[in-house]
């Protein structure tokens, strides 16, 4: 089993990244193949909205996202983590999210893959906005866990204080993948609804052949 761990904060260390270190070590011990992706070390440039990926399946920008997308395609699941920034999410994670949306998301290449996520905030909120992106749920993933912590300002909570929760997250992720658990009913209904809307209002019209690659992907998956 292969897991891609996505360290989503724009720095090294800190509470969330320490939590991810703890989870990935646990997954290592359980024999999973863990690929650690630290966005702060990756060359990920901004999406320029050229739509080449929708037409052809390949991005016009040549940076580390090519290797990242290849690794995510091979993965059985993901563990992600980031902190709230101004009530939302870090810009570095949003940049990564934009670059996978059209190829992996619209292409339904993450459908049913398992995700566990870890979020944190100093003392305010942002749990909902952060969780929406961290769990990749708009891409029809199977959300296993989403742990959210308030760490205090300055940070008082340490990863070692929540070891049992982090180990439980790792164990549940491994168990879900091992059992090949399917999407929950609510997620299946949401996926069917999303597919209908995209198919009806985007793919069937396909203005200027923008969605050629996505249409091929959907036909291969028998979604059209």
Between the CA of residue 155 and those of 18, 53, 134, 211, what are the distances in Å?
A: 13, 41, 21, 46
Residues near 128 by beta carbon (within 8 Å), at least 6 away in sequence: none
Residue 121 has pLDDT above 90, yes or no: yes
Model pLDDT for residues 105-115, shown as the tens digit of each residue: 999 999 999 99
The percentage of residues in the chain with a pLDDT greater than 70, rounded to a whole number, is 100
| CATH domain 2-182 topology | Rossmann fold (3.40.50)
CB atoms within 10 A of CB 111: 17
Residue 6 has pLDDT above 90, yes or no: yes
**pLDDT band for position 124 (cuts 50, 70, 90):** confident
| Mean pLDDT computed over every residue of the chain | 96
Query: In whole angstroms, what is the distance from residue 33 CA to residue 35 CA?
Result: 7
Q: Residue 63's pLDDT is what?
A: 97
Q: State mean pLDDT over 26-41.
A: 98
Query: In whole angstroms, what is the distance from residue 118 CA to residue 116 CA?
Result: 7
Sketch the domain layout of the chain as residue ranges: 2-182
């Amino acid at each position: 089993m292969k897991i891609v761990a996505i360290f989503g904060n724009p720095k090294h260390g800190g509470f969330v990244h320490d939590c991810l270190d703890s989870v990935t070590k646990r997954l290592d011990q359980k024999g999973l193949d863990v690929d650690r992706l630290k966005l702060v070390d990756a060359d990920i440039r901004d999406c320029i909205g050229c739509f080449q990926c929708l037409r052809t399946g390949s991005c016009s920008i040549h940076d580390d996202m090519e290797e990242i997308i290849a690794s995510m395609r091979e993965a059985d699941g993901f563990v992600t983590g980031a902190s709230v920034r101004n009530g939302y999410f870090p810009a570095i994670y949003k940049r990564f999210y934009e670059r996978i949306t059209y190829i992996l998301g619209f292409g339904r290449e993450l459908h049913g893959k398992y995700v566990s996520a870890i979020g944190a905030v100093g003392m305010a909120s942002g749990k909902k906005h952060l969780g929406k992106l961290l769990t990749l749920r708009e891409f029809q993933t199977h959300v296993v866990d989403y742990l959210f912590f308030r760490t205090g300002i300055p940070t008082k909570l340490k990863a070692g204080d929540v070891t049992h929760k982090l180990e439980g997250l790792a164990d549940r992720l491994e168990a879900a993948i091992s059992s090949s658990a399917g999407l929950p009913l609510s997620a299946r209904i949401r996926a069917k609804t999303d597919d209908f809307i995209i198919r009806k209002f985007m793919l069937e019209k396909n203005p200027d052949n923008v969605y050629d690659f996505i249409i091929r992907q959907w036909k291969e998956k028998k979604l059209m």
